[in-house]
Amino acid sequence: MIKPRTPPGVMELLPRDQIAFQRMLDTIRHAFEQFGFLPVETPVMELTDVLLTKSGGETERQVYFLQSTGALEKSGEGLPELALRFDLTVPLARYVAEHEHELAFPFRRYQMQRVYRGERAQRGRFREFYQCDIDVIGKDALSPRFDAEVPAVIAAVFERLAIGEFTIQLNHRKLLRGYFEGLGIEGDAQMLVLRELDKLDKRGADAVRATLAGDGFGLAPDVIDKLMAFSQVRSTGHADALAKLDALGAGTALLEEGRDELRAILNQLKALGVNEARYALNLSIARGLDYYTGVVYETTLNAYPQIGSICSGGRYENLAGHYTRSKLPGVGISIGLTRLFFQLKDAGLVATADSSVDVLVALMDEAGLEHALALSQRLRAAGLNVETQLEPRKLAKQLQYADKTGIRFVVMRGEDEAARKVVTVKDLRRGEQFEVTEAELAAALLVEREQLRSAAGNA
């Protein structure tokens, strides 16, 4: 007999945890849709030559290829025809290029699907995981005003998820590159320096400083001092963010362009009503060194910095350059929800959910089956999720079942209740029970459910 087991690097949940995960997905989806984003799904598999637009590198080493048994028997040289997507950005690029003449631009899409990477199996690292992405894609050009709308969406998502205080940290690649130019750091050297500064949180200031002064860099002490001071700029409010930008002093044309765009983003966030405690400058963020060209975002939970970024993204200039001659600039973000859910559960910030079933209609004896079925249908018609016990069992067993599966209300009707045209409702959450007429049952349960949801929302 084969031992049942899941592959390493996947998350498989029990029903009540799956409900909690699904509710997070629903919350994120609702926030995306409220900002006018449209749903897209792409196949889990893509043609290998379309997916792997670059050969070699870390990405290709983590790709899962697909091969049918028939193809295996005839396998020759070269890669298999199909591969599993490793993110949602490359499929989006293919999708927009393929449907370019059918889409309305700016194209606002959200996508919430699983992706696959051959990660080394370890705690908190997944080979199969959900990503929740939004992107706005322009044709030829895209206004920087969209760059401010995206963090407003981030704020809406995490406010509604209610997982703790968070900060959307902002930087701008033009500001970074312009500042480097002003220090005489040009061309490929900028990328090398960026990579080192991006390691500040992991390696520490002393290690980064030593690297920048060593072989391959050889930067002067005063230049390193300025780089370190620049990368440590943080703001603590809207006015402070603007002041910190002003304090950088006059710079190159590129720096001024980046600074102007950041100022506009900050002011637009204020106009959108985003709480100023939710966003801040962090001039150490680089992200996607060869991809992002403008603003970049990283979102962190204030009380749990060890979790790292829970949402990241930024502005890019040419999404689909491998698939079309059209210029398709865009801005977007991604939430790695599987990893985030795992970490939140680990930190006690997400609890196992109650059942999605509101009511269990108990069955006391065979004679009551038809009534139990009809009552269940009336409750469903009123908007409640109902499970009906289809075989009579001892009441204690039925209550135990409801408690274990997370169902809050159990409706019971014995001979005495039937004679008086009432039912008894057991509230397993409060450990109380009450009687109500069958005519008033649905309304009473709906009121109780809404009170519970309101209390949870205010907690």
Asked whether residue 351 is domain-assigned, the answer is no
Instruction: Please give the tally of structural domains in the chain.
Output: 3
What average pLDDT does the structure give for the chain?
Answer: 92
Asked whether residue 423 is domain-assigned, the answer is yes
The predicted-structure confidence for 283-297, as pLDDT tens digits, reads as follows 988 775 568 999 999
Residues 102 and 141 in one domain: yes
Residues 202 and 338 in one domain: yes
pLDDT above 70: residue 194: yes
Residues 28 and 49 in one domain: no
Residues 257 and 327 in one domain: yes
Q: What is the CATH number of the domain that holds 431?
A: 3.40.50.800
Asked whether residue 100 is domain-assigned, the answer is yes
Tally helices (H) and strands (E) across the chain. 18, 16
For residues 293 and 194, the answer to whether their CB atoms sit within 8 Å is no
The pTM assigned to this predicted structure is: 0.90
| 346, 373, 404 - which closes a domain | 346
Q: What CA–CA distance (Å, rounded) separates 235 from 227? A: 17
Residues 99 and 79 in one domain: no
CA 94 to chain centre: 22
pLDDT above 50: residue 69: yes
The predicted-structure confidence for 399-428, as pLDDT tens digits, reads as follows 999 999 999 999 999 999 999 999 999 999
Residues 104 and 167 in one domain: yes
Asked whether residue 151 is domain-assigned, the answer is yes
Asked whether residue 38 is domain-assigned, the answer is no
Task: Give the position of tokens 């490359």.
Answer: 90
Say what the pLDDT of residue 73 is: 65
Residues 294 and 371 in one domain: no
Asked whether residue 2 is domain-assigned, the answer is no
Asked whether residue 265 is domain-assigned, the answer is yes
The predicted-structure confidence for 81-138, as pLDDT tens digits, reads as follows 899 999 999 999 999 999 999 999 999 999 999 999 998 877 778 999 999 999 999 9
DSSP state, residue 327: -
Q: What CA–CA distance (Å, rounded) separates 135 from 113? A: 14
Asked whether residue 398 is domain-assigned, the answer is yes
Sign for the pseudo-dihedral over CA of 216, 218, 223, 224 = positive
Residues 132 and 217 in one domain: yes
Residues 216 and 336 in one domain: yes
Residue 177 burial (CB count, 10 A): 21
Say what the pLDDT of residue 55 is: 47
Strands 409-412 and 128-137: unpaired
Longest dimension (CA), the chain: 93
Range of the domain at 128: 15-33+88-346
Q: What CA–CA distance (Å, rounded) separates 234 from 204? A: 16
